[in-house]
């Protein structure tokens, strides 16, 4: 009888490092699958590798490796030789899914992945990498909005993120005393939409750049809230803010330096009535500066592509109090974005 030699289990500490080394490979594999439209095609019709390779114009052997990785990530399953989407891929990795994150993934693949290649330079110099990678000084939004298709792709991705975070952000505090919410840099309007669903007394305004407003209108129309949500186009740095007793900024302040954040906070404070408030949605760093990991990864992302960063709750409190706000509260939501409320 042959004996089976027993080998020691892998070193769990070594596995931590191996998983970290594999991290960028996993991201790029999924980015590529999304870019090829694999999950969209398989949603229409499960197929084997040969058939799918003809549709996508790929070499079968190479495509099989990518499909195998996606199956190992539990994004696909194989039944009788055909690949099928798992529910998670159907929800988040198809271009036309209501919960799609593909827009953010495609932007990450085509822009952020390239900027992250220069992380060492960013850490040494403390500045973003647009000029180093693209040869231009312009930053994140100029690239994300460079074409109509790019703009819609990016905003769709942010909408998918918002669908996860906005319900928790608007539920973090009792907003029933407020009457009108203006979301500054509101994008597709996901936060205002969720707030109006949760608080029937609220009406809302989506405030964003003129090029974004038509996209915002489409999302609000689909939510059947055109009678309660209006639109104002403008730049929150240079244009007057729409009137409101509650402002919100979701994933806005982390794009900017402390000086520009202070300017925006001061501006919102001046436009608010007494007892008015500012609802802030950002990922909050631990006060002990040791996590969460996803918040620090996002802060590094801000380093390579903006002038901003993620901050602790106490840092946000100090910034809001310097602008004049008298009360500050923060809530961990367990979602990609946490919630803070500053009251005038």
Cite the active site residues: 254
Say if residues 340 and 316 touch (Cβ distance below 8 Å).
yes
Structure tokens at 67: 């499909």
């Amino acid at each position: 009888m042959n004996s089976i030699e027993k080998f020691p289990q892998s070193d769990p500490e070594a596995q931590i490092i191996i998983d970290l080394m594999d991290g960028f490979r996993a991201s790029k594999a999924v980015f590529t699958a999304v870019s090829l439209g694999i999950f969209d095609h398989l949603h229409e019709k499960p197929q084997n590798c040969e058939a799918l390779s003809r549709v996508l114009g790929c070499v079968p052997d190479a495509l099989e490796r990518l499909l195998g990785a996606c199956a190992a990530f539990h994004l696909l399953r194989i039944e009788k030789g055909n690949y099928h989407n798992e529910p998670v891929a159907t929800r988040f990795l198809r271009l036309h899914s209501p919960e799609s994150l593909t827009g953010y993934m495609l932007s990450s693949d085509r822009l952020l992945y390239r900027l992250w290649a220069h992380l060492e330079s960013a850490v040494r110099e403390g500045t973003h990498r647009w000029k180093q990678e693209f040869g231009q000084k312009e930053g994140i939004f100029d690239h994300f909005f460079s074409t109509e298709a790019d703009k819609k792709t990016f905003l769709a991705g942010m909408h998918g993120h918002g669908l996860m975070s906005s319900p928790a952000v608007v539920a973090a505090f009792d907003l029933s005393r407020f009457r009108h919410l203006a979301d500054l840099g509101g994008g597709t309007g996901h936060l205002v939409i969720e707030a109006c669903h949760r608080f029937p007394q609220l009406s809302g305004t989506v405030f964003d750049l003129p090029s974004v407003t038509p996209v915002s209108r489409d999302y609000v129309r689909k939510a059947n809230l055109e009678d309660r949500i209006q639109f104002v186009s403008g730049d929150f740095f240079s244009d007057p803010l729409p009137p409101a007793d509650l402002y919100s900024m979701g994933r806005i302040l982390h794009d900017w330096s402390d000086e520009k954040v202070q300017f925006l906070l001061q501006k919102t404070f001046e436009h608010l009535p007494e007892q008015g408030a500012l609802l802030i949605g950002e990922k909050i760093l631990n006060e002990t500066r040791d996590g969460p990991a996803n918040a620090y990864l996002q802060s590094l992302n801000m380093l390579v592509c903006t002038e901003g960063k993620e901050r602790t709750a106490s840092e946000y409190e100090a910034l809001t109090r310097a602008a004049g706000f008298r009360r500050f509260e923060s809530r961990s939501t367990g979602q990609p974005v946490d919630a803070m409320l500053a009251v005038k």
